[in-house]
Amino acid sequence: MSIGVLVLNFGEPDEAVLGKARPYLERIFLQNAGLEGHTDEAAVARARQLAADRAPGLVDAYAAIGGSPLNGQAEAQARALEAELRTRGHDARVYSAFQFTEPSIADAVAEARADGVDKLVGLPVYPMCGYSTTVAALDEVRAALDAAAWSPRFIGVSGWHHHPAYRSMLVEHLRSFVAGEGLDLRDPETLLYFSVHGTPVRYLGDAARYDRYVYEHCRDVARGLGAERYEVGFQNHANRRIRWTQPDNEDAIPERVERRLVVVPISFMHEQSETLAELDRDLRAFVEGLGKEMHRAPVPHADPLFPRFLADLVTGVLSDDPARGGVLSRCRCCPLEDTWCTNGARDLPPSPYLPDDASGEGAAQA
């Protein structure tokens, strides 16, 4: 039986040109139109206007980093995963697809169908499950299958940050980086600082638990490194008048007395604009302006252990009983059937900063 794996990512323009920046922004603004109350034709018009206004600035930002390497790194991960699955004896084909650039998720679904795939696994490469990333990507696969009137067995893989193999890989990667920089996380002048991709508060709620995953994951990684002191801040995008996860990096960092920061972009499995521009350029200038040092840990996108871990996830959800072993369980964040994650069976504490916001503005949109 032929297996198809869709490796799903956000996507970014690989060239600093308006012809790629504008449609990329339009797709993002259209997906999030509900945050501002726009629907249907008004949403399309608003998305186009916002994209036209902001595309030139985005082109400048991508020009400064030489175009985003995200898509190329995602394709390399897909090829490495395919090789690993075939080494394990699986008749598997792996497709790289993106939410906001080409090849689209619909394109990848069509390719898998043409290849005669019988089982299709949707694997978003986002460690912590978020509403606009993991859940939206899997929803888009389901929509593409429905639009094509194609019904292979579809299995989704949701959040996987709590998988012990992934956590171990990340901890060892960071331990090696810290040692290579000649740093000591026990030094009172050195702080382990997690910079996290922010999300609108409206995307949080009882089922959508991204904020709780963030604090849990940072805590567990810090423990693995033996770091008793650490801080968590968010990379928020203040281009809409809505509430975002807090604290902003620019608010959290000045409150710390340590003069040396080890910055970990814990939300990402690729180098992209959020690491190469927002952290390496913008945040570094901010930190150094405060008279502090910044050491930014690279994303372990090419770690040889990563495709092995992804293959473990795929073979796990394809087994007769994915829940056997106690690592995977039915996903609570994504409403699709046959979707598995490392979080569904676990009780998590209330949101660290939204304890009374499990409904209303804090509830994820349906």
According to DSSP, the β-strands at 339-341 and 329-330 are: antiparallel
Non-local (6+) Cβ contacts of 41 within 8 A are none
Q: DSSP alpha helices (H): ranges in 66-196?
A: 70-87, 105-114, 136-147, 164-180
On whether the 164-296 domain is CATH 3.40.50.1400, my answer is yes
Q: pTM score > 0.85 for this model?
A: yes
CA gap 95, 109 in Å, rounded? 9
Identify the pLDDT of residue 362. 30
Non-local (6+) Cβ contacts of 226 within 8 A are 185, 186
* pLDDT value at 318 more than 50: yes
Domains 3-10+69-159+304-353 and 164-296 share a fold: yes
Residue pair 50/25 in contact (Cβ under 8 Å)? The answer is yes
Non-local (6+) Cβ contacts of 38 within 8 A are 46
Which numeric CATH code is attached to 3-10+69-159+304-353?
Answer: 3.40.50.1400
Instruction: Identify the CA nearest to 78 among candidates 108, 52, 53.
Output: 108
Q: What is the pLDDT of residues 182-231, one digit of tens each?
A: 999 999 999 999 999 999 888 887 677 899 999 999 999 999 999 999 99
Match 């697809």 to its residue by tokens.
Answer: 97
* pLDDT value at 360 more than 50: no
Residue pair 153/119 in contact (Cβ under 8 Å)? The answer is yes
In the chain, where the domains are located: 3-10+69-159+304-353, 18-65, 164-296
Q: At 93, which amino acid appears?
A: R
Least-confidence region, from 90-104, 307-321, 332-346: 332-346
Q: What is the pLDDT of residues 60-85, one digit of tens each?
A: 999 999 999 999 999 999 999 999 99
Non-local (6+) Cβ contacts of 49 within 8 A are none
Match 């503005």 to its residue by tokens.
Answer: 361
Give residue 143's Cα distance to chain centre: 21
